[in-house]
Structure 1
Amino acid sequence: MAFDLLDTLKNLFNNDFSRTAATQLGESEGNVQKALGGIIPTVLTGLLNKASTPGEAGNLLGLIKDAASGNFSNLGNLAGALPAGLLAKGADILRSLFGNKAGDITNAIASYAGIKPQSAETLLQTAAPASLGVIGQQVDSGPGLLGFLNSQKDKILAAVPSGLGLAGLLGAGSLGDIGNKLSGLISGIGGGVKHTANSVSHAAEKTGGNRWLWILIAVIALILLLWFLLRGCGNQPGGHAVTDSVTVSHMEDTAISHVTEPATTPTVTRESIKVTLPDGTVLDAYKGGIEDQLVTFLKDPSTQGGKDQWFDFDNLNFKTGSAELTEESQAQVKNLVAILNAFPKTKIKIGGYTDAVGDPKANQKLSQQRAESVVSALTAAHVKPVQLLGAEGYGSEFAKAPADAPDEERKKDRRISVSVREK
């Protein structure tokens, strides 16, 4: 019997999984099952739609292989790896498949199944890497991927609930158009793909025992995934509270955040959270960090932009004595890019600050270069130019701690900030 992708995934997300998920999400088991019945073919249809675009097969294959590794390898370290890597991977996959429509699709699933949008988002982020991971166990080349998907497309498209309106969300006249587009692409490539698809099916038959072993491992992975995800955010409401202060220990030459007066405790344990943007993008952040505070501010209809609205980066660092961002800082830059994309009316200015140690002119120059470095990084990430109102280095002009103060006090003055001028 030929390999059936849809049935395999339905076996992964079985009644036991639905029961566990329903309990953790605070939803009814029937509604979770209904949601999964829409989510699985939706994710796969997004894959079909992406694969039908010429030149995308190679990119998708990389996503698929990465997902397969994350889901099924290194079972001994599964519990430790899932929260840090696989959850973000699920969000990345959804963005890759659906772009700025990811949020609309999340809401469509929630409305269709009668569950909360946060629950739909959790289930989608769980299903996406699992779906691609199972495919990754079957396909090892770009042409093989196209052929394999072509052999599965009819059943996938037929399983999409009509109430979702998925074709419209994907910009297609009908779901059949997506299938026809893929078939047409394959016909253009040549008949070799058909042979590859048949080979995949025969290989799946021969290795059926191994396939079910992977399925068993995947079930365990998915349950652990959901448990870890919900343990961290299951009781949080849709919004996130802004903390009064954040104190972070950094090396001397860094930009650090203190939006309000810091607590006296030198270091506090930071709580990791997920910050959801209006377009459905989910950011990994810290409670009280710039993402949390900035998004809360932008979502609040009672707030206004202006020269006094500043938010400090809390995980943005530079190489010592330079204006070059460290590699680790790119994550927060990317988060700011995502926030600006989700709030297209927002306009910001970047400010740079130093402590009072050293020559004031040199400090001003360095702070200017660092602020400009952040603007350059945002520009390189294709933030709309109209949203960036420039950069200004203030040096030690606003430093509160004297030059002879302990470093623990002076480090509060070394920072890069975002001023929300319009929202």
Structure 2
Amino acid sequence: MALNIIDLIKGQLGPSLVSQASSQFGESESGISKAISGLLPAVVGGMANNAEKPGVLEAITGSSSSGLLGNLLGTSTGNSTITNVLTTIFGDKIGGIVNAISTYSGVSNSTSSSLLNMVTGAALGSIGKYASDNNLGASGITSLLHDQKGIVSSLLPAGLSLASLGIGDAYDTTGAEKVTTTTYDQPKVEVNRGGETHVTTDPTTPEDGGSIWKWLLPLLLLLLAGWFLWKQCNKPAEQTVATTDSTYVESDTATTMNDTAMVGTDRTMTDIDLNGTKLKGYENGLEASMIGFLKSDGYKNAADDAALKDNWYSFDNVNFKMGSSTELEPGSEGQIQNLSEILKAYPDAKIKIGGYTDKTGDATVNKALSQKRADFIKSELARMGVGAQVAGAEGYGSEFATVAADASDAERAVDRKMAVRFTK
């Protein structure tokens, strides 16, 4: 079975990057995710259809040394390599793609354009890295891209098609399954890990009966949508992911959150001063809050652990991959490194790691997962040379969750987090 390049690239476009893009562009995370889901198949399809062109091949082979994957948000504007690739694969159709994605996802045209550049950078970097790791030359890359032609159109999310993007005639489907927009066989629903649904179809060209399909197809789609909604409402709750996008203080000695101690987090990355050393973090985020406490002599003046145990600082840029306790989303390692630098600057300080989940799923499973994640962060800090300053790691699961299990995912996000506090 041919490698699905889109799955390869998705690893670079995880929740952490979506959150940062949302902050940078002033758009909702759902809008950013929706735009990416439409842009990614289109970009890969464009590359697949122009796999022999030197400009595309050179950009892919050169990406492994260009640092594209390390600064995807920085590629959203002004990168000549990305601009040249987009011109090569889409020509004068770029504006139409940007408009179509903007309408589909609800983000602005300027954001849609920036995301197109970002997704293209992720595609070039991911394919280039794969080619480098597997010693693929130009012919190997071309062959890899050609294998994508038969699957790209089927991976577009519901509501988008090559025609709606204005590039239906730009794709050479020779040797691949051809897609038409007249009539369709039985639709199939795919559910991705984020719960979004993609309706795909097996195209056919009927000999007759076209007028029947004009009213029968919408009816079938309506029935299918009703069935899917019914299944969604009755399916078991999924296992949670212990991630967070906010920093606040809570108590681990009571079953309720200390809402009066919440700290607002500016989602703009900035320089945080650590005794003359600059750390990259969010203003009023984990790094700034912990350093501020240490500089105020709050730790030094604390008589014992009881004076510290109510003040937890949530990681605002550490995200585990879904269901994993050992794999982090891209960009997460940096904040753990920042925490190690803080501990090195204050060698007398000791901390405790905590893991939390929301109320969905099995409580025992949730507690075990949160414990493994807390242990993983502890082991990473030990690897970075500050293990002696980590006094403990504990997974609390849903023990201190406050939001009902049947609330929306966005509402339950406040209960899903990894956190740290000082201890004596």
TM-score by length of 1: 0.38
Instruction: Please identify which structure carries the higher helix content.
Output: 1
TM-score by length of 2: 0.38
